[in-house]
Amino acid sequence: MHIVVCIKQVPDSAQIRVHPVTNTIMRQGVPTIINPFDLFALEEALRLRDRFGGEVTVLTMGPPMAEDSLRKALTFGADRAVLLTDRCFAGSDTLATSYALAAAICKIGETWGVPDFVFTGKQTIDGDTAQVGPGIAKRLGLNQLTYVSRIVEVEPSSGRLLVQRRAEGGVQELESRLPALITMLEGTNDIRRGSLDDALRAARAEIVTWNAAAAGIADLSPCGLRGSPTVVKSVFAPKPRAEKAEQIATAGTAPDEVADAAVAEIFRRLPGLEAELLS
Amino acid sequence: MPTYTAPLRDMRFVLYDLHGGGRLARLPGCEECTPEVIDAVLAEAARLCEEVLFPLNRAGDEEGCRLADGAVATPKGFREAYRLVREGGWTALACDPAFGGQGLPHAVKVLVDEMMCSANLAFALTPGLSFGAYAALYAHGSEALKARWLPPLVDGRWTGTMCLTEPHCGTDLGLLRTRAVPQGDGSYRVSGTKIFISAGEHDLAENIVHLVLARLPGAPTGVKGISLFLVPKLLVGEDGRPGARNGVSCGAIEHKMGLCASPTCLLNFDGAAGWLVGEPHKGLRAMFAMMNLERLAVGIQGLGLAEAAYRNAAAYARERLQGRAPSGAKCPDKPADPIIVHPDVRRMLLTQRAIVEGGRALAVWTALALDDHARHPDSDRRREAGDLAALLTPVAKALLTDLGFEAANLGMQVFGGHGYIRDHGMEHYVRDARVTQIYEGTNGIQALDLVGRKLPAHGGRLLRGFFHPVAAYLDATAENAVLAEFTRPLAKAFARLQQATAHIARAGLKNPDEAAAAAADYLHLFGLVALAYLWTRMAEIARTKAEDDGFHRAKIGTARFFMDRMLPRTAALSAAILAGGRSVTGFDEGDF
């Protein structure tokens, strides 16, 4: 089984500051981490590999320093790391990013075998669009399974796949077929700890580094800024609505009395609700 | 509940920026130890310590170890944690690749050790002793012994102990009575009782390899008649699998002030099968191969606990609202100011911080000397490094544990009454820290080792390995006005140390009691000057760093505090030393 996991190096949002005037993110001196959602994807991929055998290839697009994230992924036990880096990718939005990553996944398939799975996190913590995974799936014609909370069954021989995904108001159980792209939901697993062996292997490993040409991208027009229709018009912090909390008068301080007062107030403000609920 | 986050940033600063640890990759056998490799190792070690070992610390202390029918049960979770440590390859970190080790340098090991000690010292003792046993066996065992016993010690399937102490002899091993009788087949029968044996019996691993000091029949009396034996808990068959029980049993475990989750055992050897390690009657020398590493390791224990106590005290001082700053309210919108506004609280926190970061610099310096001693291609450099390591080892052990205890105690003080009760974990650090001043040679013994052995050795050659670089550094920075706030107090304290050294050399020659009476003060004087030298260099480096994210600013601030508020202790120490030992040695014994 060959599994490709797409990861992204992001600034550690816990330590990020926003410029008070321009409202842009001040990345200087902020440590970078693997996008936390991608770690759930990576762990799920590693578990599938451990169960069925095969290889996990991690892929990222970014500046040369994104290599750190790939090494980290190798520490957790990934078998191979590919860094897609080229100046022509600078300024990519989600459309251009998914174009470049899809091309690189094709190249990975040609080189080490067509992947059965492509994994991504559900979204990144810096962009929060959740668009790149679906973009890759669409371009590669993979079955697209987003917000997956659990992989219930995998039958590599028949290619049958059963997953649970979070949907509004509940959990959907979906049956699909390989090859598939899965975007993994947070909290689905815990990334394993790397052993000393893995840490040393990762630090010594050769990172496969491709520019656009090496990744087999001939047409550069859909890449980078040129290939990105998204334009940031302005960035602003929403004004907090400074409303004073209202107080509801209660008959007493016993829990029942407080609850009664709150419910009465809700019913007063939403006429018809009481009838609807209690009818 | 306390928290633990490994201080990786400071570790990198000390290893690379201060001590030029990037050069480790140029040492033979360390070619792969680039900063990238070391960073990856430290980061994974940090996760192991934060996520696996630290959460067991408090519960392990509460539960303790239990002895029933000769078997010791460690606290809940320890077995699983040990399995993770072992499977993660961490027991093999600094061992020879020929026996399955990873061959990483001591400079990396001390940092990993520090994290383990901060996270869970009681747990860390077992793999720590295994490494000591590995080191002694590696240095002195025959090829056949090494081939059989080292691989399982390296990969952690088996653990090791060092069995020195007997009920009537601790510091003075010349008194020991355990006997070993040759059997004619190359093996021996070992009989006697050993006490205070850490990890002497437990349920973490399938076998235990005891290294036991004992006497051969007709051996000379005193320390010149002691030999070292390997005695396994379970006998090992030709297939290398442990089988029948050897004649070693755990008769009791001690009830202790701290380190409750580490079994401290009384071991009875009743004609147990053993094998000689090294030459007959040279056992003490073989044991010292591991003792020196263990002494540095104990210093690291003090450091690790100080680090844990400092971080938690600093966090608490920021949050605890109580009273107002002496100069007026700093947080008028709150019911009270956080206690960190108080100069006395800041004094305690900065003392802890100066101890921790200075101590880390001293520990890594010593470890790098061990690495150079073991691996440097130039034989002169190897000898110099060996001299420095020998000189710094007793200082690192005693200073880092004395100051480590001080720091742990200050951590409790910052918490006030909440530090004295168990809930916040601060009294736990104090209890665990206390024994580090006692075991592996009390700090008094370390001081005697420094003054009685290390100073006079080779006509004072060891001392030059420290005095020369400090003097050269002071010369080189004499014109540096910006650094003067650090170099001036350093030069002053260094002069005190030189004067005290000359005094001890003179007085000690006439009367050894004079040197012995000054030894403990001298060790602290020496240690504080070493820290001052390291703090000055750290401040110098921090000044050249452009990034202003608070880290380097705090480094300079802590250096300033050390110079202003801690280094003056050298004045008192030097005065006490120069006053002589008359009042100590002359006091009539009957009047005590």
Q: pLDDT by residue (tens digit) across B216-239?
A: 999 999 999 999 999 999 999 989
Q: Is the ipTM of this complex over 0.90?
A: no
Q: Please report the pLDDT score of residue B161 as a whole number.
A: 96
Looking at residue B51, the DSSP 8-state letter turns out to be: I
Across chain A, mean pLDDT equals 91
Across chain B, mean pLDDT equals 96
Contact B159, B203 (CB under 8 A): no
Residues of chain B in contact with residue A72, where contact means CB-CB under 8 angstroms, are: 40, 43
Average pLDDT over residues B34-55: 94
Q: Please report the pLDDT score of residue A126 as a whole number.
A: 86
Binary contact (A200, B41; C-beta < 8 A): yes
Contacts of A246 (CB under 8 A, 6+ apart): none
Looking at residue A193, the DSSP 8-state letter turns out to be: P
B248-253 and B227-232 beta bridge pairing: unpaired
pLDDT confidence band for B547 (50 / 70 / 90):
low
B159-283 shares the fold of B8-140: no
Q: How many CB pairs under 8 A join A and B?
A: 56
pLDDT at position B289 over 90: no
Thinking of the domain B159-283, which architecture would CATH place it in? Beta Barrel (2.40)
pLDDT digits (tens, 9 = 90+) for B509-531: 899 999 999 999 999 999 999 99
Residues of chain A in contact with residue B44, where contact means CB-CB under 8 angstroms, are: 75, 193-196, 198-199
pLDDT confidence band for B546 (50 / 70 / 90):
low
Average pLDDT over residues A3-7: 98
Q: Please report the pLDDT score of residue B269 as a whole number.
A: 98
Tokens of A11: 């600034």
B264-277 and B248-253 beta bridge pairing: antiparallel
Binary contact (B40, A195; C-beta < 8 A): no
Class of domain B8-140: mainly alpha
B549 touches A: beta carbon within 8 Å: yes
Question: Which of A 20-39 lie inside 8 A of B, CB atoms?
Answer: 29
Rounded Cα distance between B486 and B502, Å, is: 25
pLDDT at position A277 over 90: no
pLDDT confidence band for B548 (50 / 70 / 90):
low
Q: Which residue of B has its CA nearest to A68?
A: B36
Average pLDDT over residues B546-570: 92
Q: Please report the pLDDT score of residue B291 as a whole number.
A: 80
Query: Do you find a cis peptide bond into A179, omega within 30 degrees of 0?
Result: yes
Binary contact (B44, A193; C-beta < 8 A): yes
**Proportion of chain B above pLDDT 90, given as a percent:** 94
Looking at residue B433, the DSSP 8-state letter turns out to be: H
Q: Please report the pLDDT score of residue B508 as a whole number.
A: 87
Residues of chain B in contact with residue A75, where contact means CB-CB under 8 angstroms, are: 40, 43-44
Q: What are phi and psi of B559, to 5 degrees?
A: -60, -40
Rounded Cα distance between B165 and B169, Å, is: 6
pLDDT digits (tens, 9 = 90+) for A168-200: 889 999 999 999 999 999 988 999 998 999 999
| DSSP 3-state of B510 | helix
Binary contact (B41, A198; C-beta < 8 A): no
pLDDT at position B360 over 70: yes
User: Domain segments of chain B: what residues?
Assistant: 8-140, 159-283, 449-585
pLDDT digits (tens, 9 = 90+) for B474-483: 999 999 999 9
pLDDT at position A241 over 80: no
User: Can you list the domains of chain A with their CATH numbers?
Assistant: 2-227 (3.40.50.620), 243-279 (no CATH)
Q: Which residue of A has its CA nearest to B31?
A: A204
